[in-house]
Every structure is written in C-alpha cells, then in structure tokens.
Structure 1
C-alpha cells in the first residue's frame, strides 16, 4: 500500500504543500492505531510492553522508514520546483514571524496557533489570508491576550502529559498527530511563512478537532463500561 500512498501524497502536495505530510500521518496511524503502540510504556523505556510482539514491530518500523523517506524525497522535489530564488515575503504579511525580539516573536507565533485552533473549533469570521494589522504581534505584558494564551498553554500541556503518560487510547494520540504533523509547515517553526494566518493551511489539521469531538461524543456501544466511557470523553473534551 506504500506506492499508492506516495502517489496520492504527490497529488495532495501539488494542490497544497501541507499535503506532503500525509505519509507522516500514515506512520502515526500505523503505529498508534493499527499496531497499538503504548507511548506511556515507551516513554518509560518498557520496550517489551510498548509493542504487542516483535514480529509486528519490525515490519511496522520498516514501513515507517520507507514512508518517511518518501516524504522527505517529495518535499525536496517540491522545494526544487521553486528554483534558486528565495520567496518574496513582506514583513507585514507575517508580523508575528518576523518580530525582531525573540521572546515576543515566540509568544506572538503561539497566539497565531491559538487563533488557528479557535478557527478549527468555531469557524466564523473566515478570511482567505490574514495579515497586519489583522493579527498584531504581542509586544507588552499588558496585552490582554496573554492571559488566555497562558491558560491555553497550561491546559494543553496538562492534557498532553495525560495522553502521553496515562491514557491508553491510541485514538487520542492519533488526534494529536493529526493536529500537529500537517501544521508543521505553516507553524513558523521550520521556516517563516508568508502569511500570518490562512484557513487553507488547516484543511488537514482540522481533522484533529473533528476526531476529538467524535471521540468525546461516542459513549455508546462500548463494552468497557460507563466509567471508561466517561474517562475517554473527559480526556477528549479536555483536549
């Protein structure tokens, strides 16, 4: 199934660059959902407990290596299509990413992430391309956006720790992967992008929110009992 994945990835990438991350999502699904990799055991270096069997682990890691290699090759090929010239980006297109102060730049970029998350949950006031002064950077401690930003960060860190170290639900981990991996290219972490915010870059990450909501609402027909359903729904809603 790897060749069809890479062919479809190429088509998705030519439509929008974030499509190149599809092999990474396939790796995540293979390891977390299909192979039931237990991250809480893996992070504690309990390798035998983390994998179901060694026979399953070797083919899964081989598939992951091939898909990641294919992802890198496609990304480099797509980059080569741009030629040797650097993209022409105006600072006003992404004031958060080009902020001269490193601390305020990081905080401002994190606020843009929060804006993306809010758009995924409540898609209103949409715009094809946001730029200055629609999303001004955070530059002072008196900025009213700092309080919700800190609350958002603490909530996500707490939820992430619970999912990685406590939860045994692979679907929750896959939801995190769906939200993080396709968003990497637009996150300003790898390169500074030419837009402050653009809804078109979250056509894949928004699946994470859909998956979490569906997981939270799905409390029927589960043989694990009401208590397990309640814990699962609470974890999803907390995320």
Structure 2
C-alpha cells in the first residue's frame, strides 16, 4: 500500500497558509486537493454521469407509467450494485489524505478568521447593489456576475483596474436578456460536464472551487467585479483550454 507523504502535505499546508495572507481564496486549494483525490479515486465523473442518466431514465419511466399501465413499464427497475469487500480497507491512505486536508483547511480558515478579529469585513451596501435586491432578482444578478466572470476568462480584453458599482446594470425583470445569457452559460457548463473527460473535470472543478469565496454564496462581497479573484480560477480554465487543444489535435491526427 502506498504510504502517505507527510512532507508534501506539510509543504502544501505551509504554502496555503502563506497564500491566505495574500488572498483568502488560497485556502480553497486544499479543497481542490480533496476534489482531486475523490475525482480520481472513485472515478467521480463516470459515477455522476451515470447518476444523471439514471434520473433521466426514472423520469422517462414515470412519464411512461402515466401514459400506460404499470405492467408495461416493469423494465424500469434499476439494478443495484453492492460494494466489493475490501474496498474500504485498500483505501485507507485515501481517507487519511482526505482527513488531513480537511483538518488543514479548517485550521487555516480559523486562523485567517481569527486574524480578522473573528468577524467579516463590513462594506457599504452600495458597493454591491445586488445584495439589497429582493429574491429572486438578487440571485439572478449574482448568477449573471458569475457568467460575466466566465466571459472575462474567455475574452480578457475589456478589463478595468476599478469596476464601479454601476459597471453592470442590475437585473430587475425576469424578461431581462441577461437571464438568457446566464441560462445559456449554465446549460453549456452542464453539457461540458457530460461530454468532458476526467482531466477537464479537474480543470472545471479547480475553476469553480477557487471562485466560491467570490461568488456571493456564503457571504456578500463588497464589490461587483474584481479581476483579482480570477487568478486561481484562471488556472483551472487553462487546464480546460489545454485539454481541449490536446483532444482536438488527437481528433485531427486520427482522421488523417
């Protein structure tokens, strides 16, 4: 059984801790490591795709059961798979890695929070106008900001050193065209997940996980757009682009 490299884990902890003094997002690198462990250990991509297909299949069976008699949809029963004996025992190193990385993340996050006097920074409500809107418009604005950040990664030409609070017009109607752009982005991301390989999943996971602190999900931010929060997500984005070029080259080469 492969032994745990404690030296590497300590180096990762040290670099992550130092990185949090530059930007709090650095702590998410430990979550990226956990995601990497789970993704490759349990073949997470294949399992999630199969799970999605099963739910689609169940939905189809439900529709069929409403249109036909239950006897005609008996084929919809799904088989279950039992865990192979000894899997947990052979994965002891994996679980130890997850445990150490989780402890490191919690410890570093608590230390960083203690440095901030155990309270979140206070911002002017006008620094992030979307936070004062009622649901669902607040969530729609946040979702569009995520989409706009994706566009900045894809097309980094319209950049600014200081984005004002009015740089992006607020969404105040369900019929706003920005909602269509947001929906299209989410659909494209879902299709990318279903069609990509494990390496692309790693890049996409890297991009999403490191962007979480700047997503307004866990706590409201004091800005609308800040390109500095895209430094770490851009690494995951680069993995996706590089993997895409590799797959494209392989496809062209195989057709010759």
Matched, 1:200 2:206: no
Who is 1:135 aligned against?
168
Q: Do the aligned residues in 2 keep the contact of 1:41 with 1:47 (CA within 8 Å)?
A: no
Who is 2:177 aligned against?
144
Provide the C-alpha distance between the structure 2 equivalents of 1:93 and 1:140, rounded to a whole number of angstroms: 21
Who is 2:201 aligned against?
173
Match of 2:18 among 11, 14, 35: 11
Q: RMSD across aligned C-alpha pairs, in angstroms?
A: 2.8
Gaps of 5+ in 2: 1-7, 52-79
In the TM superposition, what is the alpha-carbon distance from 1:140 to its structure 2 partner? 1.3
Provide the C-alpha distance between the structure 2 equivalents of 1:150 and 1:22, rounded to a whole number of angstroms: 28
Write out per-residue CA displacement over residues 144-193 of structure 1, whole angstroms, 9 at most, x where no aligned residue: 32222222222223333x15xxx5x2212211211111111110001111
TM-score of the superposed pair, with normalisation by structure 1: 0.80
Match of 1:57 among 91, 94, 105: 91
Residues 46 and 25 from structure 1, CA distance in 2 versus in 1: closer, same or farther, beyond 3 angstroms?
farther
Match of 2:102 among 68, 77, 80: 68
Provide the C-alpha distance between the structure 2 equivalents of 1:47 and 1:221, rounded to a whole number of angstroms: 40
Q: Do the aligned residues in 1 keep the contact of 2:113 with 2:119 (CA within 8 Å)?
A: no
Matched, 1:94 2:128: yes
Matched, 1:77 2:77: no
Gaps of 5+ in 1: 228-239
Provide the C-alpha distance between the structure 2 equivalents of 1:184 and 1:10, rounded to a whole number of angstroms: 18
Runs of 4+ in 1 over 4 A off after TM superposition: 42-49, 53-56, 220-223
Match of 2:151 among 99, 112, 118: 118
Equivalences, count: 217
Match of 2:210 among 182, 196, 199: 182
Q: Do the aligned residues in 2 keep the contact of 1:94 with 1:131 (CA within 8 Å)?
A: no
* Structure with the higher helix share, 1 or 2: 2
Q: Do the aligned residues in 2 keep the contact of 1:25 with 1:178 (CA within 8 Å)?
A: yes
Matched, 1:218 2:224: no
Which structure would you say has the larger Rg? 2
